[in-house]
Amino acid sequence: MASRDLAIGMIFLSQMIVGCLGNFFLLYHYSFLCFTRGALQSTDLILMHLTVANSLVLLSKGIPQTMAAFGLKDSLSDTGCKLVFYVHRVGRGVCIGNTCLLSIFQAITISPRELRWAQLKLHTLKYIGSSNILVMCWILNMLVNVAVAIHVTGKWNSINSTKTSDYGYCSGQGRIPHLLNIVLLSLLDVLCLGLMTLASGSTVFILLRHKRQVQHIRGTNLSPRASPESRVTQSILVLVSTFVLFYSLSSIFILHMSLFPNPSWWLVNTSALITACFPTVSPFVIMSRNPRIPRLGSACCGRNTVS
């Protein structure tokens, strides 16, 4: 085994363990709130679904990439490759959908409470923050990503051809149909990114306007502490910005791999690492900026103190 394969395998393994640890901790936290309080706030419900999608992305990308780096490239069967790619695409689609819903929900939440729009705002927030639309997001991604699994096969079942794309542990059959599927699926992602950008832009505008109003009322010499609503909004903006950064880089690599039949070792592994960056980083971004969520270290220390 080459030293570079061993190194990249350890990186994939470390990234998957750290990311899953953070997401599982958040999932435990939201599940605990759900069982003790009976219901979750809308933002917490969206974030709970996001952690599940993050975990699917990490496991479906990290496990096969680690196995391939350690020399087990032909271990996945045809069905295994289809399942891995399908789960990864569904998790990735739910990630972008939930992040989009989160940014839109927060933009509407902090928007001015004008009387004539109050009823519409109330109904919109109730619809976006409900579990029904989150379930619909899962179902939609499960349906539209079926086509992705059709064109993926195990390496032992693939034929050496210019129409075959090598992904390290699996192969893609029919480069042109696969590229068309990627383009069509990307249209939905572009729509979500556009809505996300508009919502985040309006959120920043509202926050700046609110800050100027507060400074004008209290005086420019005072620097009032940010309200809890503003802190939550800022944490969501950081989360959305992180997602847009990593998603844009990941999309560039995925498009490049779809255009060329046999991507290089560097391209395949870099694309996989970048794809798993947001699911790995996002739970720690959420925990670091949300005082209601206990830190991993403090939670462990707390349990040791009690015992």
261 close to 175: Cβ distance less than 8 angstroms = yes
Mean pLDDT by 10 residues, the chain (307 residues): 79 93 92 82 88 94 85 75 89 92 84 61 68 88 84 63 61 62 75 88 80 65 54 79 88 77 79 90 85 59 42
* Per-residue model confidence (pLDDT) at position 237: 84
Domains with residue ranges and CATH for the chain: 3-154+171-289 (1.20.1070.10)
* Per-residue model confidence (pLDDT) at position 214: 67
Token look-up 């210019």 returns: 162
